[in-house]
Each structure stands twice: as C-alpha cells, then as structure tokens.
Chain A
C-alpha cells in the first residue's frame, strides 16, 4: 500500500509521519515517532492504556485512524513533563503511590490532565468518572484519586501536605518514593513491546481451536512459499527439550501429537511484520482427529472419563488428617454444611505478554515481562540445548503479573525463532491470545462441613476442595496443597479432615493467581463462621475472636504458632474503623 505523508503537532512540535491508510494513531505514535508511553493493552478501545489527548480531549488511540489527526494537535505523556520538569500530576502520582506497574499510568495521567484543564476543582465522583475509561489492575484506584486531588490542589496554589507519621532517619518504615517512579510517569519505562531492534521479525503462534484432538498432519507448504516469512516451525524444529512446566513438565512448546485445550500451541511463524505473521497462520492446514473431551472436574474424576494425560486425571491429591474427625463431629453441638462454587478468573493485567529475543555473541538474550526470570532462563536453556549460564533473561518493566506471568508465555516462541533465524524476534500476544492461552485462577468446587460447640468454638472441620486444574499442571499441585493448609481460614480447630484435588480437564489451565486458593475458599468458610455465630447468638466479630489463631495455636497441619500473630489485632483495628455495631469484646 502506498504511504502518505501527514503533518501534525505532537507535544507542541510540528512533526511529519508516513502512514498507511489504515494506520492507527497509536502505531503512528509508537512506531513512527518513537513515543512509546502510550500502550496497547487490548487494541480495541476497551482499556484506556492507549489514551492520548487530541486537541485537548482524551481518546483511544488504538482505534483512532491516524489520518484523522492530520493538522491537529496531540499530547502524549512525553509532552506533559520529563525528569527535569515534572507536571504536578506526574509528581503527585509518584508521591502518593499511585504508580505500581506503570502500564496504565500514562493514559491515566492524560485523562486526569484533561479533567483538570476543564474542571480545576473536581469532586471525588468527578475524578472517578473522568478516569472510568482507564482500567487499572494494580492500584485499586484509591491512591490515584488521592494523587489527582493533590494535583488539583497544587495547580490551584493550595499547599498539599502528606500526613504520614514516619521515622525521619534510617530506612525502615519510610514511604520512600519508588525508584522507578519517574520513568513510569514520563512514559520512559521500557516494557517489552517498547523495544525496537533493527531487522526485527515478528512471530505469531498457531493454536488449537479444539479442546481435545489428535494431530494427524500439519501442512505448511503454502507458508514456506511466502517470501516475507523467515521461519515456520513445529515441534521437530526444537533443538532441545519440548517439555516444560513449573512443577510437572507436562506442557509442550509446540504440540507433537495431541492438543489438550483451546489455545494449545502447534506451530510458530516469524515474518517481517505482525500482520504478515498473523496472515501466514491462516495458510497452515492442520488435520485434526477430534477426541472426546472432559470439562467438569468431578466428571473427570469418574472412571471412564476421557484421560487428559497418561497418568489419569488426578494430578494431585493433598490430604490433611489432624485429630479425630468422627469424634469431633460427635462432640459438636452445631454442624453446618455448605457447598460453594467459585469461578474461573483471569489476571487481566493491562500489559499483554510480550518478549523480544536476540542472539548476542552466541548467547540467547530474551527481554520479556516476567515474574520468574531465572526459571525462564532454565527452560529456555533446555529448549535450545544451551548451558543455562549462556542464556540471559532481562526482565523488562512488567505491566502486572498477579501470578500469570510466572509461567512461560511469549518467551519460548520469540527465542526459538530468533535462534533459527539469527534475527531479533518480537512476540506480543493480543489480548484474546493472552486470555485464551495463559493460565487462570482455578475454579473450585467446595464442600465444607464445620462442627462447633454451643460456645461457638470450632471442634471439627471436613473440607473437600476440587480444583479444575485444566489441561496442564502449571502451579496446580502447589495451589491445591496451599489451599489445604489455608482451607479453614485463621481459626483454631482440633479435628480436621481435608482433601484437596487438582484435576486435569480439557479446560483452560489453572495456574497461580494472587491468593492461590485462599480467595476461592474464604467466601465459604467466612459465611459458615457467621452462621455458627448466629446459631450461638454471637456476633460475627465475637465468633471470630473466639476462634482466631493465637500464640500456642496449632494450625491445620499441627504447626504450633508462636510469634508474629497479628490476627486479633487486625480484627480489632478493622472493627474500630469499620464496624458500625457496638462491640466490647476486645476490652
């Protein structure tokens, strides 16, 4: 396609750019002008990470055709202020702790600027409304609102003071400004997709559309004919190991014979542009033999269920047997049974997975978002049959993880293509790809039975946790093991019987996600505690006070707790500030 030249004002400077008819403003800013502060979080105008100001108004630049800005004026984060002169918003965002991973920060700050330009003294509601199109997954928005309020004050000439009572010497207990604050608020922090290298290629991965199938054949002869495709690779092209996994190495970088969930990778293409890499995928023809799949973990536990892996569908079974459970229920005056189903959840970090890999003097270097650089290094080394010491992982500024960026995602495909082609290779997952292929929070089926005395003391607990661990192990065994140890909540109970199962199904992969089982179980055990309280005539606070772990308590695994048990203190403090009903129990 012919490119055309447009002129526009960017951050008060007149700039020229060569664009295609269908270039989006976001790509013009990032690829052409090198201003990588605006980010691609979803590519569909649904997250706000790409927000820039056009003639002072915030817009979603990822769905804004660049031609529309011809002759107009745009402001990106880089134009708001830099290290030498920060705009009050940038300053306050850092000072008030409103910056964490930094990916949504530029867009957030620009939406805030547009607000303050129009409405210099906004109410809290008006602030929240103005930033309601900027999704943030890290901060919970509280400090963002405070930072914007403080900026508004400063811009109005009011003195804004931070009332923190902290030590003035030493380093502990001090809210030291984060060391990477300034790059994040000025758009200079380098995330993996912000790295551009000469001769860079782009990858795309062909993934299974079926939850369970046998691969009969893969025909990519058509792809090989495309001149702009530099590599088309399948399992046989992997020089070293095709098996990986944080605990059990049951996952393949590229499927050899079997695909086990929708999203399971089969082939990878490296081409000169992102679009060509994706187009090439359509020319790969895979012949599948569809096999029966199983999605429900309880169905998968039954004999005769389709087997996801060779060794059966029970990946892990953790048992806890403390005391005498029958005895315990016998002695109980109150017994409460409750079933609970928790849903599959997604990390939804605003930065989709991204990696760029290149060879440097015989060393493979992978620059990527990750929570586990050394683990990544080991796996990549195994895949390429390289000594671990000769693989280098550089963690780029990472736009949130929450457990979803510990497993491998983009790294092996970028590395493999770079190894084969000798060129730098970038792989950035689309939002859909990220959601389809990477791990999720396990859905749990919970079966609880608690027994208590009429004084409200827990005396017996029987818990069954069935975790849908999906097609591959990932952190499954660890999640269910931890779940067993946390299944009761912070309460003392002498007789405990817990069975936690991680069950394979052809479902998206259950992995690590913030809380690792505890968020799924809390709604169940906390509701039971309230109910026991009601049956004993005790308030929700008192029932917890009576049962809370304290020095000398034995946990469900019979570990005696001695120090550092702030449980009751947290109850007391929360009640002091947040419980509207009178409660005297702490006196």
Chain B
C-alpha cells in the first residue's frame, strides 16, 4: 500500500483535529500531483493517513481584501484558477504566468498553489513569482496561526518549515502591483510545455510617479541555489536609480554574478548562470514595457 488511509477533509478544524489525534502519522495533501508521485516511488507507508484539503471551501479562492491592501489566495486554489483569474492577471501577473505554464492542463486543474509552495522546490512555478511579489503564507496548526514571509518557509531542496503532519498552509497574500507597478516571469525550459524549468526569473517593479526612477524592485529566481532565491543586492542597487538601459544591464550582470546554480539534467551551471543575466534583463524590460516606459537597447 502506498499509504494507509485517505480522508477528504471538510474544514480546517477537522484537518487540525485529525492531525493532532494521529500524532504525526497523518499529513496534509492537496492536489497530490507532486505528493502522489513521490509516494508511489517510495517504500509503501502503511501507517500513513492522507488528509485531503483540496475541497475545503474556505481555503480556495482569490479575493481582494482590506480595501485593496492585499490579494488573498486560498492555498487550495488550483493553478488553472490562478492562471484564469482576472485579479491575479491584473495585480499579480507573474503568478498568473507561472500558474499558466506549470505542468500541463491536466496537472493545472488539480495542482494547488499551496502544494506547489510546500513542496519546496527551488524552481517552482508558483513559488518564484510569489517570492518576487513578497508574498506571505498563513500557517495554521492546533496551536494557532501565524503569517510567515515566503522566504522564511524554505530550508533546503524539498524541505520547508511547514510540517505537514502538524500544520497546514491556508492562505497566501501579497500586495497588488499598483498603477506604477507590474511583474513579469521569464521561463527557460527544454521544451515549450509540460516540463520543469531550466531557469525561472520573476521580477516585480514599482516606479515613481513620473515613471523615471525605480522605486522598488524585487527579483526572484530558481534553480540557482538550494532554495528559491532573491537577488537582494541587485534589488537594493536598483532602488532609487534612474530607469535606463545601462542600469538594467548592470543589474542583470550583478544578478548573474550573485547566482550559483549547479549542473543538472535540465541545464549546465555555467549556462544557467549566464541565463540569469538574460532573463533578469528581459524581466525588467518587460515590466517597463507594460508600464508604458520605452527603453531601447
């Protein structure tokens, strides 16, 4: 048996109670598109109970809350729902793009943003955009709930601080990209669909009122480290600088030098590093184009 029991949960409370009463022998599952494959490949775990949270209504859905302060996304929202959502396309574009490219249509109909993030892969199509959007995750356990920034979640490849036998992520939230902001996602992969990325770069940009200076820039990329990566130094250098091609080029090169990807089946380390520069440059250019700022190479 791949697992012992499979239960469909109807509420967060039910889930927390089950987790508590089963003392670490149960864990949360959402769409299962990652987890089921992992469990099929491992030694069977007869004692494991899976708690399916994918149909709990409260943790599914996208809304604008607190009068536009946050975009809130239920952890069990599917990637297809994110890709099609007008709210996400307008205010969290990089996330809509990532969700639309992830896997295949059949996978997107089932895979959830929560599962994507908790799976803790350094180049997850949901995680990288959320990181650039400076998203936060709400983690709920029987002890209570807490909000954590996305960056705080990741410890290593496949390891997050979320212990699925004790707690669950219920929501994500991020600030909508406002009038002077936008976000983009660049994806490099070995074929045009249905494949893990060789490199993913998400960029979020906010400009000043006259669209002449970078007010705030956020750049996330993967896989260039064991966890999803933010190019913090680059972000700092760009903040406050004038929007010019030179500045963009400089930032892109800086990002490349800061990134340390490794060799893998999906791409060599040197190539990936060089591509960080290209994709950061393209990501910044795309955001500016969307904001109506024309920059020439």
Q: Which residues of A contact B (CB under 8 A)?
A: 1, 20-22, 24, 43-46, 48, 51, 57-60, 63-65, 67-68, 70, 111, 114, 129-133, 135
Q: Which residues of B contact A (CB under 8 A)?
A: 1-6, 8, 32-33, 36-37, 40, 50, 52, 54, 80, 103-107, 109-110, 192-194
In contact, B193 and A21 (Cβ under 8 angstroms) = no
Could you say which residues of chain A place their CB within 8 Å of the CB of B40?
43-44, 63
**A538 vs B2: C-alpha distance when bound (angstroms):** 64
* B105 CB contact (under 8 Å) in A1, A46, A70, A133: A133
**A292 vs B33: C-alpha distance when bound (angstroms):** 41
* A436 CB to nearest B CB, Å: 15
* A129 CB contact (under 8 Å) in B6, B52, B105: B105
8 A-B residue pairs with Cβ-Cβ distance under 8 Å, sorted by A, are A1-B1, A21-B1, A45-B106, A46-B194, A58-B106, A59-B109, A63-B36, A133-B103
**A129 vs B107: C-alpha distance when bound (angstroms):** 13
* A203 CB to nearest B CB, Å: 20
10 closest residue pairs by CB, A with B: A133-B104, A132-B193, A57-B109, A22-B2, A63-B36, A58-B106, A133-B106, A21-B6, A60-B106, A67-B6
* B40 CB to nearest A CB, Å: 7
Residue of A nearest to B4 (CB): A21
Known: A22-B6, A44-B40, A132-B193. 6 other contacts (CB 8 A): A65-B50, A111-B105, A111-B106, A132-B194, A133-B105, A133-B107
**A20 vs B4: C-alpha distance when bound (angstroms):** 9
In contact, B110 and A64 (Cβ under 8 angstroms) = yes
**A135 vs B106: C-alpha distance when bound (angstroms):** 12
In contact, B37 and A22 (Cβ under 8 angstroms) = no
Residue of A nearest to B36 (CB): A63
Could you say which residues of chain A place their CB within 8 Å of the CB of B194?
46, 132-133, 135
**A60 vs B33: C-alpha distance when bound (angstroms):** 9
Residue of B nearest to A133 (CB): B104
Could you say which residues of chain A place their CB within 8 Å of the CB of B107?
45, 60, 133
Given the interface pairs A57-B109, A65-B32, the reply to whether A70 lies near B8 with Cβ below 8 Å is yes
Residue of B nearest to A61 (CB): B106
**A43 vs B4: C-alpha distance when bound (angstroms):** 20
* A573 CB to nearest B CB, Å: 29
In contact, A59 and B104 (Cβ under 8 angstroms) = no
* B193 CB contact (under 8 Å) in A20, A51, A129: A129
In contact, B3 and A22 (Cβ under 8 angstroms) = yes
In contact, B33 and A63 (Cβ under 8 angstroms) = yes
* B1 CB contact (under 8 Å) in A22, A43, A44, A46: A22
**A129 vs B194: C-alpha distance when bound (angstroms):** 10
Could you say which residues of chain A place their CB within 8 Å of the CB of B1?
1, 20-22
In contact, B105 and A130 (Cβ under 8 angstroms) = yes
Could you say which residues of chain B place their CB within 8 Å of the CB of A22?
1-3, 6
* A545 CB to nearest B CB, Å: 35
**A68 vs B51: C-alpha distance when bound (angstroms):** 11
**A65 vs B2: C-alpha distance when bound (angstroms):** 11
Could you say which residues of chain A place their CB within 8 Å of the CB of B32?
63-65
Tell me which of B1, B32, B104 has the highest count of chain A C-beta atoms within 10 A of its own C-beta. B104
